[in-house]
Amino acid sequence: MKNTFGNNICITLFGESHGEAIGCVLDGIAPGVEVDEEFIASQMEKRKGINSISTPRREADKVRILSGVFEGKTTGTPIALMIENQSQHSKDYSATKDLARPGHADFTAECKYHGFQDYRGGGHFSGRITAPIVAAGAICLKALEAKGIEIGTHIASCGGINDREFNDLNKDIILLKNREMPTLCEKAGKDMIALIEKMRGEGDSVGGVLTTAVTGVPAGVGEPWFDTVESVISHALFSVPAIKGIEFGAGFGFAAMKGSEANDPFLISDGRVHTKTNNNGGINGGITNGMPIIFSCAVKPTPSIYKKQQTVDFKKRENAEIEIKGRHDPAIIHRARVVVDSVTAIALCDLLTGRFGTDYLAK
């Protein structure tokens, strides 16, 4: 089972949703990088979401740093992070353990692991495993901030309700850091919350689109062909449960454009090369051009819904119906924004270290 991402800076995940603990090992971070435990805790809080529209499962998510950090700085050795599971209701899953929950990995896990997988709460496939990603991502985000690189993600749309687009990126990213509901327009956020609460009442769920902006990445980062900035970031993002589509810059909008509309004209301003527009999302030929990196992710509706659904019993090999019990989110998009920020930070640290050397983040 492949649980490691990265070439220069690597993250390896471990644990299951209802096991004793979950965690990760973050390897390759240069010595001397500051580790802010209060910031890690604040990022973990963002992942918990908003009570009225999130799962009733409330984990403390206290991150224990087991190695790789001494006196508030990285030592250069592997950083082991562990989070105890303390609020499992495993009995919620025993009655349906042989039924494939639609939209979940139950059937594919059975095919791959031949019945030896931990089925409780989705086991290793659970969104619960994003918690250590957020913990590791917090270390990477702080390292990037020290280099003048900022990341911000907002809910561009949810169930047909649209947020405003990014405008002043620097101000908008700061605004998002302090928003519980990650929208740029407060009214849009309130309307989305109302919709998600409605979905909870109907036993259903809703998805949407997250849009991310990254500022401060220098030009020249990335490799042509197989390790492009798009491919590395996409590789990391598609590991996040519920992410089913990604586009950079204008993305699928390019299909309806003329070349004269799609191209970003170059110009010199204050001695620096810029582009007049940013349809390509800050990337040309797989390599950063110094403009903000912009991309959007499609987040599917939470597959755990309370409506009766058609499925199969994969042990008995017969058709069946399933009515899911337990504690589930009517939407995960507001919780996913911090996960997207985190995997983006990890991917960028990997790319930047590959371009500028292992000590880049500590200089």
List domains and CATH numbers for the chain.
4-362 (3.60.150.10)
* Other Cβ atoms closer than 10 A to 41: 14
pLDDT digits (tens, 9 = 90+) for 313-332: 999 999 999 988 776 789 99
Q: Which residue has the higher pLDDT, 59 or 267?
A: 267
pLDDT score of 49: 75
The overall average pLDDT reported for the chain is 93
Contact indicator for 304, 200 with CB cutoff of 8 Å = no
Report how far residue 208's alpha carbon sits from residue 335's, in angstroms, rounded to the nearest whole number.
Answer: 12
pLDDT score of 2: 83
123 burial level (CB within 10 Å; 0-12, 13-18, 19+): buried
pLDDT over threshold 90, residue 363: no
Helix (H) or strand (E) holding 155: strand 150-158
Contact indicator for 281, 81 with CB cutoff of 8 Å = no
Q: Considering the entire predicted model, what is its pTM? A: 0.94
Name the nearest CA neighbour of 331 among 198, 183, 154, 175. Answer: 198
Q: Name residues whose C-beta falls within 8 Å of residue 19's C-beta, 6 or more positions apart in sequence.
A: 85, 118
User: What is the DSSP annotation of 7-43?
Assistant: SSSEEEEEE-TTSSEEEEEEE-PPTT-B--HHHHHHH
